[in-house]
Amino acid sequence: MSGYVDEVVIPYDRDLGPVLFEHYGADTARRVAEQAPKDVLEIAAGTGIVTRHLRNLLAQDARLTAVDISDSMMAVARKKFRPDEQVTFQNVDATALPFADEAFDAVVCQFGIMFFDRDKGFREVYRALKPGGRYLFRVWDSEHYNPYASLTFEVLKQYFPSDTPRFLFDTVSCHQIDPLKEQLIQIGFDPIVISVQRHVYDILDVTAFARALVYTPVIFEIRDKGGVDPEDIVKELADAFKKEFGSSPTRYPMQAILFETEKPKI
């Protein structure tokens, strides 16, 4: 596990986190904290980027539970908190939450729903929310607005034209709003507020960002196919970002979709 943490999880947290996740995480935490919830659940918490923002903004006596299916991600997340900060970490399947009915005032999931069965996951959130409880989740908009997916795919296609690694395309697979909205309505969530949020980040170390993208689970596809040095892909990808978005800094654009909804009061 330590090799996986060093090669994949730490670069994900250190080099992708500030670019892709910090801004949206801070915004999510602010929206949740405004309602002063006492019990908050974060699903697919990963390396604790949103968790840290939540803990900073929630009341001191609020209870925060952060769950993820990955031991490796949780190991990095735990190190960001003191024992007295009232954060409980658990390795949990998002489609089978081990919590009582109506246990939480708010549930959060940032860029996670594409990795599990959404209908089961949404139903579990609905069950675990108190009446009047809020559910906030984000998804990435399509690859057309998120070049971390589109540019990486184009570079990978140069090396693997017939069977291009597609992991990063999975992360932008939930951009169609209507199917998600219909699932939420069918389960009983109401009201539903949806917003599209653009952001631009100045990347100073583009090579580190490119390397962290290549050393997501994409690296396992690259190694399985063989015949290519991953560092060659990193260099090509960094050059592509600089060419497209400038250098010193690279003005990197991204776009996410936020869903804010509630479990109606009885």
Fold designation for 2-262: Rossmann fold (3.40.50)
* pLDDT the model gives residue 248: 87
* pLDDT the model gives residue 3: 62
The pTM (predicted TM-score) of the whole model is 0.95
* pLDDT the model gives residue 219: 92
Mark the ranges of the chain whose per-residue pLDDT is less than 70: 1-3
Cα 204 from Cα 261, distance rounded (Å): 36
* pLDDT the model gives residue 42: 98
* pLDDT the model gives residue 7: 85
User: Any idea of the CA torsion for 140, 47, 29, 179, to the nearest 10 degrees?
Assistant: 30
* pLDDT the model gives residue 2: 53
Report domain extents, the chain: 2-262
* pLDDT the model gives residue 166: 86
